[in-house]
Amino acid sequence: MTEPVLSVHNLSVEFVTRHSVLRAIDGISFDIAKGEVLGVVGESGAGKSVTGLAVIGLIDPPGRLSGGEIYLSGLRIDNLPPEEMRRIRGKRIGMIFQDPLTSLNPLYKIGDQLVETIRTHSTLSESAARKRAIDLLAEVGIPAPDKRIDAYPHEFSGGMRQRVVIALAICAEPELIIADEPTTALDVSVQAQIIALIKRLGRDHGTAVMLVTHDMGVIAETSDRVAVMYSGRVAEIGPVRDVVQNPLHPYAKGLMGAIPTLAGNTERLVQIPGSMPRLSAIPPGCSFNPRCAFAFDRCRVERPEPMMHGTQAVACHLYDTPAKVSAA
Amino acid sequence: MLAFTLRRAIQAIGVMIAVGIISFSMFRFAGDPVNQIVSIDTSAAERANIRASLGLDDPVLVQFTRYLVNAAQFKFGVSYQFRLPVADLLKERMPATLELATCATILAMIFGILMGVYCALRRDTLLAKLFQAVSLIGISLPTFLIGILLIYLFAVTLGWLPSFGRGDVVPIGWWTTGLLTLSGLKALILPSITLGLFQMTLIMRLVRAEMLEVLRTDYIRFARARGLTTRAIHFGHALKNTLVPVITVAGLQFGSVIAFAIITETVFQWPGMGLLFVQAVQNVDIPIMAAYLIMVSLIFVTINLVVDILYTVVDPRLRATVGHTT
């Protein structure tokens, strides 16, 4: 097996507040291979976005990386000096944010923003960069790109703006794209187009994609593997088919049970009782134990580590020994 | 764009007519102008003569129209105290005021923006906190006090700079400038600082607040995620967005600078329109007061117009809405 494009080991991110230190990410590990799409799901506040920002090195104070390592194609990037990390951002890691309406600087033509980004990461001349910008706009599906390149962001619709944002994210052909809820702010019909676009770009260029979303439908459609996050930890990670059809972690089970289906004749959707703990009040042991129907004594004292179970890695004591599963 | 400019220009003319009404009414409500001209022992017949020759017997509307027509040609009548046409007096004094106001505004803009950007980008440094503290003084100290303190320090104690007047001036056509002589430049320094200090602190605080706001926006975060250099982000993306509101405020403030110049000109005995106005108030010289009102309004209205147009040049979104609504 070749080296993964992105390899995260035991990453922790803390936010220092006046009263305490809040741990937003608590020792997560995952890999993304070349051309692979990893979906990251979880509720709001589970640490999905923070993980994305940590990888691209945009955690601002009072937040800080407090442990672990991040490797990009074998190069350790979590402890690089700011200037070297800047050169990697945009060139080797592209990022797409949630709201295309606010991601573009309203005072600059989109062409200027593209040319500026291209020239920051290459030695292309102004005219060559402009030509490349037009090609990029065509690639992300902007009609009449040679004319639209001189338009301002407010002259585009939301979906078109997200295409421009994607063009900006891929303009230096990065190895990794982090898409942080790229479709949340868009209409459903436009969502499908954007998802198809990200998928196609990943396939055509062999780009690894980290797709952060809370939309299981998007994950099921796009991802090769999926990581389910819960209060700053990875609860379960595995191939998307297995995790969706046969979730192991009780939280993942609840999450999949909460997806409405047209075929099913269930009267009510499954709810997970309670809500995710605040960062300042994470319970000892497994952070899911207060909401878990299968929790037992060990869950309240000992934190479960991820362990392989078939194709899936799951952080749950239920799967530690077969005996406990039956006991539960 | 042209239609927009035209519409704004028409609005500006409307404002000027309103100002004309106010300044015209000053003549009618601030006492009988004939009494200002004549002495106590002038006979009633002579008074009536003067009244008739000045057209004060005509209906109000006729008088007002005449006044407006004259004012539009910058004919503001004759000053009671100087016995000279007001237009000539203003023309003679205007260069001094405009040079002072322009210098003060340029000073305020340069230092205000520099300090504001510094305070936003390095807000935890000692210097930034010092700027913040000093700006509080600039905002809260009255102009005349700052002027007097500066005179005490630089003119009286150190003797570096003159404490009053404009120094030597060079005439260029009807305009006189103090910018070409050493004594003129030296004389300009203290009044400019006095007049510009308030604007500078205002601009500094505005730039700082706006820039901090802009630096938190998504497009700045996205610019960082694209790997742009810190310099390109701060001075290309953030500063340009910061300057949109700053242009408006600084432009509108230029009008207040001219108005505030009354105080500064009095403190420094600066031979400008403001000083002329203060003297006119003391002598109830209504033609000068009325003309000053019209001139200052004209400057205000012109600046407003220019700011509106500049705005659309900087911000493409406004260009679009302007295009749609016209």
Length of chain A: 328
pLDDT at A266 over 70: no
Strand, coil or helix: what is B272? Answer: coil
A contact residues 71-100, partner B, Cβ 8 Å cutoff? 86-91, 94-95, 97, 99
- Is B317's CB within 8 Å of A58's CB? no
Q: Which of A219, A53, A19 is nearest to B218 (CA)?
A: A53
pLDDT for B285: 82
Min Cα–Cα distance to chain A from B232, Å = 9
Query: Would you state the structure tokens that stand for residue A225, as one six-digit string?
Result: 């593997």
Nearest chain B Cα to A173, which residue?
B226
Q: Which of B218, B226, B232 sits opposite A168 (nearest CB)?
A: B226
* pLDDT over threshold 70, residue A323: no
What is the average pLDDT value for chain A, to the nearest integer? 85
Section B175-190 average pLDDT: 83
Q: Min CA distance, A198 vs chain B (Å)?
A: 17
HEC profile of A17-85: CCCCEEEEEEEEEEEECCCCEEEEECCCCCCHHHHHHHHHCCCCCCEEEEEEEEEECCEECCCCCHHHH
Boundaries of every domain in chain A: 6-92+172-260+270-327
**Position A246 confidence tier, pLDDT thresholds 50, 70, 90:** confident
More confident residue, B320 or A212: A212
Share of chain A above pLDDT 90, in %: 12
CB atoms within 10 A of CB A188: 8
Instruction: Judge whether B161 and B190 are in contact, CB under 8 Å.
Output: yes
Would you place residue B119 in the very low, low, confident or very high pLDDT band (cuts 50, 70, 90)? very high
Which pLDDT tens digit goes with each residue over B258-286? Answer: 877 888 888 888 888 888 888 888 887 88
Which of A59, A107, A178, A184 would best serve as a mutation to test chain B binding (most B beta carbons within 10 A)? A107
Alpha-carbon distance of A70 to A55, in angstroms, equals: 7
Task: pLDDT band for A63, please (50, 70, 90 cuts).
Answer: confident
pLDDT score at B204: 92
CA–CA distance, A51 with A222 (Å, rounded to integer)? 19
Query: For position B31, what pLDDT does the model report?
Result: 67
For B89, B141, B154, B159, B263, the CA distances from B144, given in Å and listed in that order, are 25, 9, 15, 20, 6
Contacts of residue A181, Cβ cutoff 8 Å, sequence gap at least 6 = A49, A97, A98, A212, A213, A214
For residue A321, the model assigns a pLDDT of: 61
pLDDT band for A101, please (50, 70, 90 cuts).
Answer: confident
Asked if CATH classification 3.10.20.30 holds for the domain at B88-272, the reply, yes or no, is no
User: pLDDT of A19-30, one tens digit each?
Assistant: 888 888 888 889
* Inter-chain CB pairs, A–B, below 8 Å: 81
SS3 at position B122: coil
CB contact (8 A) between residue A105 and residue B219: yes
CA B242 to chain centre: 23
DSSP label of A64: E
Which residue, among B219, B231, B315, B324, would best test binding to A if mutated, counting the most A CBs under 10 Å from its CB?
Answer: B219
Q: Which residues contact A234 (CB under 8 A, 6 or more apart)?
A: A28, A29, A30, A227, A228, A306, A313, A315
Could you check whether the bond before residue A62 is cis, i.e. omega within 30 degrees of 0? yes
Confidence of residue B208 (pLDDT cuts 50, 70, 90): very high
Per-residue pLDDT, A326: 43
pLDDT at B118 (0 to 100): 92
Look up residue A207 and give its DSSP letter: -
Report the residue from A56, A102, A109 with minimal CB separation from B225: A56
8 A C-beta contact, residue A129 and residue A119: yes
Nearest to B169 by CA among B279, B94, B102, B106: B94
Query: What pLDDT, on a 0 to 100 scale, did the predictor assign at position A328?
Result: 39
Closest Cα in chain B to A154: B317
| Residues ≥6 apart with Cβ < 8 Å to B135 | B115, B201, B204, B205
Alpha-carbon distances of B227 from A58, A84, A85, B294, rounded to whole Å: 10, 10, 8, 54
**For B163-174, what is the HEC assignment?**
CCCCCCCEEECC
What residues of chain A, 117 to 156, have a C-beta less than 8 Å from chain B? Answer: 117, 120-121, 152, 154-155
CA angle A140, B220, A104 (to 5 degrees): 35
Q: What is the pLDDT of residues A276-298, one digit of tens each?
A: 888 888 888 888 888 888 888 88
Give the mean model confidence (pLDDT) for residues B104-125. 90
Which CATH code is given to the segment(s) A6-92+172-260+270-327? 3.40.50.300
CB contact under 8 A, A152 and B316: yes
Question: Tokens in use for A177?
Answer: 């794209």
Which chain B positions have a beta carbon within 8 Å of A108's beta carbon? Answer: 237, 240
* A87:B227 CB<8 A: yes
Least confidently predicted of A113-127, A200-214, B31-45, B93-107:
B31-45
Judged by a CB distance cut-off of 8 A, whether residue B122 touches chain A is no
Q: Rounded to the nearest 5°, which phi and psi values hold at A315?
A: -100, 85
Chain B residues whose CB is inside 8 A of the A116 CB are 228, 232, 236
- pLDDT band at A114, cuts 50/70/90? very high
Q: Where are the domains of chain B?
A: 1-42+284-326, 88-272
Out of A88, A120, A165, name the one closest to residue B228 (CB): A120
Average pLDDT over residues A299-307: 84
In this prediction, residue B260 carries a pLDDT of 78
Q: Is it the case that residue A242 has pLDDT exceeding 50?
A: yes
